[in-house]
Amino acid sequence: MPLLINPQKKDLGGFSVSRIIPSVKQKMVGPFVFIDHMGPAHFPAGHGVNVRPHPHIGLATITYLLEGNILHRDSLGNIQEICPGDVNWMTAGKGIVHSERETLETRGSDHKLNGLQCWVALPKDKTEIEPSFLHINRMKLPYIHRERVMMRLIAGDAYGYTSPIKTYSPMFYLDVITEAGAEIARPCSDSETACYVISGKVQIGEEIYEAGQFVILQDEQSICTLENSRYFLLGGEKFTKAPMLRWNFVAYSQEKLKEAEQRWVEGKFPSIPGDDNEFIPLPE
């Protein structure tokens, strides 16, 4: 029987996110160690997303939007607005700093935000690699068409297709839209697999799931659509050793986590060119 996780709502001041994993039921799925559903939110003119500079180590972030726009800036000097369907893939490696804000054009009028923010753990032998950043326009991502099915492969490998996003362990991440009556096979039968329902209603095994529910498949090998739906499929090869997660850091030892915290407190992470006047302090 599939494992159901109901996300926990968290208020970020002005809008809420649904924290999916980690949860008490499941710490990670494949390499995914953190998944937040941002919104759906509506902002009046003059308000919006304003996440100050903060650090990461030991992971790669994936930002994927259904609605709205976010302006990414990082300590490598990258400035990139992400639009719905595009992918921001930022590899933190041994350390990077980034901010998530908005352009004047976005902030200047009523606007929406709806999307997923995911963290992918790097394998232990990749945690000290150099940080990097890659932006892929949605038109360069593989589209997969089946009867009553349209999918976009965001990252990894699935159904014989490969995303241009370079991953560090076997994984997949798909945006799926299906019509009622459609049935699709599990992307990788031997990988950990989860389905997050955005809209509509699907059946996995004998159970029925609807919008806002995150389901981890067990032996089930297909997803059936009961009414027109949109959902994400994600997962990958199970990690033999799960990393530790504290604040924005992922590592395989407490020492590495403490070292990263101390580096941030002492101002030893690189700064963001043009966005270095403020920062998020280390939580107490």
Domain count along the chain: 1
Residue 80 is predicted with a pLDDT of 98
Residue 222 domain-assigned (yes or no) = yes
- Identity at 129, one-letter amino acid code: I
Give the residue-averaged pLDDT of 70-79: 98
- Is the Cβ–Cβ distance between 45 and 65 less than 8 Å? no
Going by pLDDT thresholds of 50, 70 and 90, the confidence category of residue 14 is: low
DSSP 8-state secondary structure symbol assigned to residue 57: B
Residue 249 domain-assigned (yes or no) = no
The tens digit of pLDDT for each residue in 217-273 reads 999 999 999 999 999 999 999 999 999 999 999 999 999 999 999 999 999 999 999
- Identity at 93, one-letter amino acid code: G
Both structure tokens of 209: 């799931």
Residue 284 is predicted with a pLDDT of 85
- Has residue 133 got a pLDDT over 90? yes
Both structure tokens of 150: 């349209």
Residue 166 is predicted with a pLDDT of 86
Cα–Cα distance measured from residue 183 to residue 258, given in angstroms and rounded to the nearest whole number: 47
Cα–Cα distance measured from residue 200 to residue 7, given in angstroms and rounded to the nearest whole number: 17
- Has residue 57 got a pLDDT over 70? yes
Residue 11 is predicted with a pLDDT of 77
**Residue 37 sits in which domain range?**
3-236
- 69: domain CATH number is 2.60.120.10
Residue 81 domain-assigned (yes or no) = yes
Q: How close are the terminal C-alpha atoms of the chain, in Å?
A: 40
- Has residue 12 got a pLDDT over 80? no
The tens digit of pLDDT for each residue in 166-189 reads 899 999 999 999 999 999 999 998
Burial class (CB in 10 A: 0-12, 13-18, 19+), 166: exposed
Residue 103 domain-assigned (yes or no) = yes
pTM comes to 0.96
Residue 265 domain-assigned (yes or no) = no
Going by pLDDT thresholds of 50, 70 and 90, the confidence category of residue 16 is: confident
Give the residue-averaged pLDDT of 12-39: 91
Going by pLDDT thresholds of 50, 70 and 90, the confidence category of residue 85 is: very high
- Has residue 13 got a pLDDT over 70? no
* 3-state SS class at 90: strand
Task: Tell me the C-alpha to C-alpha distance, in Å, between residue 181 and each of 24, 68, 79, 121, 203.
Answer: 34, 30, 43, 35, 10
Residue 272 domain-assigned (yes or no) = no
Residue 189 is predicted with a pLDDT of 87
Cα–Cα distance measured from residue 199 to residue 193, given in angstroms and rounded to the nearest whole number: 19
- Has residue 74 got a pLDDT over 90? yes
Residue 260 is predicted with a pLDDT of 98
Residue 277 domain-assigned (yes or no) = no
- Has residue 15 got a pLDDT over 90? no
